[in-house]
Structure 1
Amino acid sequence: MRFLITFLFVLIFVSCTQGKQKLSGENEWQQKMNADFKDATKSPLKAKDLKVFKRLDFFSIDSIFAVEAILNRTPESEWFNMKTTTGTLRKERIYGILNFELKDRKFQLNVYQGEEVIQEEDYKDYLFLPFLDNTNGTSSYDGGRYIDLRIPQGNTIELDFNKSYNPYCAYNDKYSCPIVPRSNYLDIKIEAGTKNYIKH
C-alpha cells in the first residue's frame, strides 16, 4: 500500500513538472521575450512559424555591452518624418544625443521621441533607440536593431545592448518598422542582444 501511494505521488509530481516548462533565456528579459513570442496574442510571428517556434536566438550576455551614456538633450530639435519599411512616415524628433565608450572607443547615437507615442500615458517618457552595427546581415538582422529607453531624471542613462531586439518586420513583413537612420551606425560589432531570425 505504501509503495502504491509513493508511486502515485511520484507520478503526479512528474506530470506537474512536465506541464510547467521552464522559460528559456539567460535572464528575465530574454525569458519574457521568448514568452511573448510563444503567445499567439502577442507574437509577431506568422502562424506557420509560431507552430514550430521554440525560442529566439541571443548572443551570450556580456557586461561589456552594458554602459553608462551621457545624455545631451536637444530641446530645440524639430519633428521630422522617419521612413518605415512599408513607406509610411512616423513623426519623430531627436530627443538627445547619447555619448558613451565601448571597448575603449568613443561613440554617439541619436535617441528619438515619437510624437504619437508620447500621447499615451504609459509611454510619455519613452525613448526610441535604433542602431546599426557591423554584425548586421550576418549574425544580426540586416536592418539593424532597437533598444527601448526611458527619459532619466539626470543626464546619464543605462545603455544595455544586451536588451537590443529585432524590429517586428524581421519576423513578419506585414509590420511597418522605422528604418534606422544612417547617422546611428556604430563601426563596431555589437555582439549582444537578439540575433538574426532564420525564417521557415
Structure 2
Amino acid sequence: MTDAFTRDWQAWHDRREAALQEPHGWLSLTALHWPGDEPEGLDGLPGLWSAEGAKLTVTAEAAEGLAIDGESVDGTAVVTAPAWIDHGDRRLEIALRGGRAAVRVRDPQAPTRTGFTGVPAYAIDPAWVVPARFTPEPDTLTVGSVRPGLEQPLRITGSVAFDLAGEPRRLTAADGGDGRLWLLFRDATNGDTTAGFRQLTTDAPAADGAVALDFNRALNMPCAFTDHGTCPLPPPGNALDVPVTAGELAPR
C-alpha cells in the first residue's frame, strides 16, 4: 500500500505537470522579443511594435487579429506591462524585465508543449525533508538572470539555516507569496543530473521561525524547459557543495 507521504507527493507532482501543460503555460513559449524605441516588425507577429520603459505601443489593422481585453486593435494601442495581447490561439505576454517591456509569445502548439512527456524526478525520500530555522532579514537584492545583461530585483525576506551532510548551511530566502519562502539554489548535481539551478518554495515559517525544506519538491525553473525564459539567478552564496539527490531532474 502506498504511504501518505508518497501519495501527497504524487498528487503534487501531477498538479505540477498539469500546470506546465496548460495551453499558455511555461511549455508554450516560442519567442521573446525586445521592441526598440522606434516602431518595428517582430518576427512572426503582425503590426509594428515599440517600447519605452514599461509602456508598449503596437499599431495594427483589425484584420491582423490582435486583441486587447477582447477588443480588436485597429490603429495604435498602448499597454503597460504586465499585460496580455491575444492573437488567435496565441497569447502575447507583455512582461517587464530590467525596466523594459518585452513581448513573449505563448503558443499552445509549441513543440515543447505538444511533445511534453513529463518531468523526471529522483525517487522520493522522507530523509530529504530537512528542518530549518528562518531568520527575517528584509532586503531587496539585484541578481543576474539567464539572459546576459539582464538584471532583476529579488524581494528578500531573510535566510534559512539548516544542517545538511553533517554541516551547517544557510540559504537566502526570497518572497514566495502568502508568507512562504522561495529558495533559488545550486547544488553539486547541477549540469549532471539536474539543470543549472533549481527552486524550492516552503510553507510559511512558524512563529518561532521553524520551517521544513522538502527537497523532494525542488523544481526546475522555467528556463530549464525553454530558451525564452528570463529566470533570475540564485543569490550569491546560495550554492550547496553537496549533491541534493531529490526533486526534479533535468528535463528530457
- Using the size of structure 2 for normalisation, the TM-score is 0.59
Distance in 2 between the 1:83 and 1:59 partners?
Answer: 28
1:35 equivalent in structure 2:
18
Q: Which amino acid aligns with 1:103?
A: A
Matched-pair contact (CA < 8 Å) for 2:172–2:238: yes
Question: Pairwise mapping of residues 5-154 of structure 1 onto structure 2 (< 5 A)?
Answer: 27-46=10-29, 47-75=110-138, 78-86=139-147, 87-113=149-175, 123-142=177-196, 144-154=197-207
Long gaps (5+) in structure 2: 1-7, 30-109
Long gaps (5+) in structure 1: 1-24, 115-122
Structure with more helix by fraction: 1
Q: Which amino acid aligns with 1:194?
A: E
1:163 equivalent in structure 2:
217
Q: CA deviation at 1:124?
A: 4.6
Change in Cα spacing, 1:146 to 1:90, as seen in structure 2 (3 Å) is: same
Distance in 2 between the 1:26 and 1:71 partners?
Answer: 24
Q: How many residues were matched structurally?
A: 163
Q: Which amino acid aligns with 2:164?
A: L
1:193 equivalent in structure 2:
247
Change in Cα spacing, 1:103 to 1:45, as seen in structure 2 (3 Å) is: farther
Change in Cα spacing, 1:51 to 1:62, as seen in structure 2 (3 Å) is: same
Structure possessing the higher relative contact order (Cα contacts under 8 Å, 6 or more residues apart): 1
Matched-pair contact (CA < 8 Å) for 2:173–2:182: yes
Q: CA deviation at 1:150?
A: 4.2
Q: Which amino acid aligns with 2:120?
A: D
- Identity fraction in percent: 26
Q: Which amino acid aligns with 2:204?
A: I
Distance in 2 between the 1:180 and 1:164 partners?
Answer: 14
Distance in 2 between the 1:149 and 1:63 partners?
Answer: 15
Q: CA deviation at 1:196?
A: 0.5
Aligned partner of residue 12 in structure 2, secondary structure = helix
Matched-pair contact (CA < 8 Å) for 2:202–2:214: no
Distance in 2 between the 1:148 and 1:58 partners?
Answer: 17
Alignment of 1:177 onto 2:160: no
Q: CA deviation at 1:50?
A: 1.6
- Using the size of structure 1 for normalisation, the TM-score is 0.73
